[in-house]
Structure 1
Amino acid sequence: MIHTRDKTRRIMVGTVPVGGGAPVAVQSMTNTDTRDPAATLAQIEALAQAGCELVRCAVPDMEAALAFGPITQASPLPVIADVHFDPALAVVALENGAAALRINPGNIGGPSAVARVVDAAQAAGAPIRVGANSGSLPKEVLERCGGPGPAALVEAALGHVRLLEERGFDQIKVSLKSSSVLTTLEACRLWAQRSDYPQHLGVTEAGGLLAGAIKSAVGIGALLLEGIGDTFRVSLTADPVREVEAAWHILRACGLRERGVEIISCPTCGRTEIDLMGLLEKAEPELAKIEAPLTVAIMGCVVNGPGEAKHAQVGLAGGRGQGVIFAHGEVIKKVSEADLLDEFMKEVRRAAQTYSNHNSEQSEQ
């Protein structure tokens, strides 16, 4: 059962509402050189098409901070500046259109540097996300808490927040991250008990595509099901577009939001008489282009497939040399194996168009 969502404060990251009951927002981060606006914008566009709603860009030097000008002017998404150590970079990024900052107040350069950044964010109307990471916690916090556990993450985040609050700044989002799923879970739960600032979720340094997506799904998914979290990023050592794809799978599995196609497919068995894995591999990139929240089925058994997947709007099931296309469990046509995928995609696109037309009619009423 999904718990009632925590009622956190509402902030705005550009045009995207965060917290206060707003839909959980999907975030990613570019891995292009920010100093190359063309390459960065190309990746941001790809992320937007995949369903990303907030994007973060690294700001390693002044050239990257100045590049925020052309990037933010053309970006389809609010762009967050990721800044460490140098307050001037944060100020320039804000002056060049950054919708928000991600900083660590503990390493930005002392009280005067924090004040400079906060004043610039206040003037720009930009929120600040402060992050506590188990790999870079202050020495005094580690000593006081006995190591980089959940309590240390919370104490570090509270200390960062106080630095901003002392300047009268409250447009804050907080993240508490560890490469350990269990540490991340407990830290985020503790934070939710201590504060109503919105939370950004993530399991940091999660790993490659498979292992990282699994760790993120367990950690982020568990928190979302408990009503905790306002934005999140699935951090993968992979193309950032895959982060966004994984994020939407997590949201759908948690019953929170829908976008794109959910594929159900059987694990294959001795009755399978077609190349089901090959069909799935060919279908996935085509299905990824569809934004309508459809459920489709790719099944290996003509006998049981339609019945086992009768909740799918469209499905295919294969047999020896032929297969069937079905909708809501009812067979609508029989086709040769060679034509199975093409006929399946025609029906999927037809279902997506029907969904789009229905939504348009609803919005006009």
Structure 2
Amino acid sequence: MTHENTRQVKVGNVLIGGGAPVAIQSMSTFNPVNTEYAAAQINALHEAGADIVRVAVPDKKAAEALKALREKVSVPLVADIHFDYRLAITAMESGIDALRINPGNIGKMENVIKVVDMAKKVHIPIRVGINAGSLPEKILDEFGGHPTAEGMVEGALTHVRILEQEGFRDIVISVKSSDVPMMVKANRILADKVEYPLHLGVTEAGTLYRGTVKSAIGIGSLLLDGIGDTVRISLTDDPLKEVRAAKEILSSVGIQQYGPVLISCPTCGRTQVNLIDMAKEVEEKIKRFKKPIKVAVMGCAVNGPGEAREADFGIAGGVGSGLVFRKGKVIRSVPENELIDALMEEIEKFETEGEN
């Protein structure tokens, strides 16, 4: 089942699956009880581009605090619940937009039915989430005694069947692992077995650099296959960086573009400018622009405009002066220390006036 053909569910005002844009998710690092801090962080995540934010709900006070938190943020919220079905009930009463639970770990079937019945009543979707590191012993024994992609899929389907038995199908599924090949394989298997939208992520991916690389490989591979309806980049870092990484991945695979994309060449013996600092400065400055354009920073005037002819705007460094170009054609030659300002002027004109 590909992204365009999955069932569609609604999380607050965000559609997931059925050809809807791939939704970016992140997770607050604050307990909902710390309402002001949590709200400030969640609003910042939304402003940065998060479509949905998940919050951990470890106890009754946290579940009850969701009501006040819900009133302070506009982005859809997902309550992350484990073991205690009563927290799921309270979270829904508090106005949460979706649940992340595993039906098999919240107690007796009668308790699962209580959660499902209420979710049906208030139209709350449920994400069934399976992590390779927390598979039940029964599943591990069945699939060789260690985590496998096949075991992850079976674990997810076991929980999904519980919901389906109660006539519930507003479901999103995730099968995550810190092992990238296992995560990719599990999602490919799962996509052939279910019609539900899939939430993609490499769990416990690591710190900023390593975690972004692992996530880009795993999530990017699946998105290029047409698999995946919503993503979360799991980094041991500020969650704002998760959102930025997600936007870069979606832009890089050609699914969605969020504002300008930077193209820059590696340095070489022809480079006569401080290309690294120049590229970093341009990358920072173009964040304020909204239109989905490509901006190039090239190291030399000899090959710059030609090699970056697909860029909407760009600059190429030189000795004492450089070129400003657009779609491969030079439009200005300016002193080296004015290159970046000249580039910003051209983009600013395009932003405010549109393309002639």
TM-score by length of 2: 0.94
How many angstroms apart in 2 are the aligned matches of 1:4 and 1:161? 19
Shift in Å, 1:345: 1.8
Q: Match for residue 352 of structure 2?
A: 353
How many angstroms apart in 2 are the aligned matches of 1:209 and 1:165? 38
CA pair 61-219 structure 1, distance change in 2 beyond 3 A: same
**Secondary structure of 2:133 counterpart:** coil
Note the alpha carbon deviations across 1:325-360, whole angstroms, 9 max, x for none: 2211222222223222222222222223345x99xx
How many angstroms apart in 2 are the aligned matches of 1:319 and 1:29? 45
Is the 1:217–1:250 contact (alpha carbons within 8 Å) kept by the matching residues of 2? Answer: yes
Is the 2:2–2:228 contact (alpha carbons within 8 Å) kept by the matching residues of 1? Answer: no
How many angstroms apart in 2 are the aligned matches of 1:84 and 1:334? 61
CA pair 298-206 structure 1, distance change in 2 beyond 3 A: same
**Secondary structure of 2:325 counterpart:** strand
Which one of the candidate residues 75, 85, 89 is aligned to 1:87?
85
Q: Match for residue 185 of structure 1?
A: 184
Which one of the candidate residues 108, 130, 139 is aligned to 2:137?
139
CA pair 206-303 structure 1, distance change in 2 beyond 3 A: same
**Secondary structure of 2:192 counterpart:** helix
CA pair 78-36 structure 1, distance change in 2 beyond 3 A: same
How many angstroms apart in 1 are the aligned matches of 2:348 and 2:238? 26
CA pair 316-254 structure 1, distance change in 2 beyond 3 A: same
Residue 304 in 1 paired to residue 265 in 2?
Answer: no
Is the 2:3–2:18 contact (alpha carbons within 8 Å) kept by the matching residues of 1? Answer: no
Residue 100 in 1 paired to residue 98 in 2?
Answer: yes
CA pair 60-4 structure 1, distance change in 2 beyond 3 A: closer
How many angstroms apart in 2 are the aligned matches of 1:160 and 1:354? 53
Q: Match for residue 37 of structure 2?
A: 39
Code of the residue aligned with 2:137 in structure 1: it is K
Code of the residue aligned with 2:135 in structure 1: it is L
Listed as ranges, the matches of 1:1-365 within 5 Å are 5=3, 7-146=5-144, 147-355=146-354
Is the 2:4–2:20 contact (alpha carbons within 8 Å) kept by the matching residues of 1? Answer: no
Is the 1:294–1:352 contact (alpha carbons within 8 Å) kept by the matching residues of 2? Answer: no
How many angstroms apart in 1 are the aligned matches of 2:303 and 2:42? 43
How many angstroms apart in 2 are the aligned matches of 1:310 and 1:287? 19
Note the alpha carbon deviations across 1:280-319, whole angstroms, 9 max, x for none: 2222222223221110001110221112112211111111
How many angstroms apart in 1 are the aligned matches of 2:63 and 2:42? 17
Question: Which consecutive unaligned segments of at least 5 residues does structure 1 have?
Answer: 359-365
Question: Which consecutive unaligned segments of at least 5 residues does structure 2 have?
Answer: none
How many angstroms apart in 1 are the aligned matches of 2:34 and 2:287? 28
Is the 2:23–2:231 contact (alpha carbons within 8 Å) kept by the matching residues of 1? Answer: yes
Shift in Å, 1:6: 5.2
How many angstroms apart in 2 are the aligned matches of 1:269 and 1:13? 48
Single out whichever of 171-180 and 26-35 deviates more from structure 2.
26-35
Is the 2:25–2:53 contact (alpha carbons within 8 Å) kept by the matching residues of 1? Answer: yes
Percent identical across equivalent pairs? 48
Note the alpha carbon deviations across 1:84-133, whole angstroms, 9 max, x for none: 12222211111111100001222222313212221222222110001111
Single out whichever of 125-134 and 141-150 deviates more from structure 2.
141-150
Provide the aligned C-alpha RMSD in A: 1.8
Code of the residue aligned with 2:141 in structure 1: it is E
Is the 1:153–1:176 contact (alpha carbons within 8 Å) kept by the matching residues of 2? Answer: yes
